[in-house]
Amino acid sequence: MSYSGVGFGTIAPGAQNAQNWNISYGGSDHGAQSIHANPLNPGATLQVNNQRKTRNNDGSVTYWVTITNVGSFSTNFNLEGGGYA
């Protein structure tokens, strides 16, 4: 399952996003998932790190990522990605 245009954020140049972004499919486990930051400003460059998967106490699953702006100006973004299958 792939997705694009999920959520919205803005990140300053050189900043690592203070909040971790996540995707949840209603808590269902969708196996290995890739989460990427989709820069919405021309010339912007974003980097993702720390992709992880959490099995919550109720058995649900949440996928997480940390976003860093490696460009020189504030950038708007949303999330895109999907499974490896």
Q: Express each pLDDT in 34-59 by its tens digit.
A: 889 999 999 999 999 988 888 999 98
- Nearest CA-CA partner of 49 in 66, 62, 31, 74: 66
Mean pLDDT, all residues of the chain: 87
Instruction: Tell me if 28 sits within 8 A of 78, measured CB to CB.
Output: no
- How many helical (H) and strand (E) elements, i.e. helices and strands, does the chain have? 0, 6
Give the Cα separation of 34 and 82 in Å (integer).
5
Burial class (CB within 10 angstroms; exposed 0-12, middle 13-18, buried 19+) of 35 = buried
As a whole number, mean pLDDT of residues 8-28 equals 80
Provide the domain count of the chain: 1
What is the model's pTM? Answer: 0.83
Q: How far is CA 36 from CA 45, 57, 77, in A?
A: 12, 26, 10
Structural domain boundaries, residue 17: 2-83
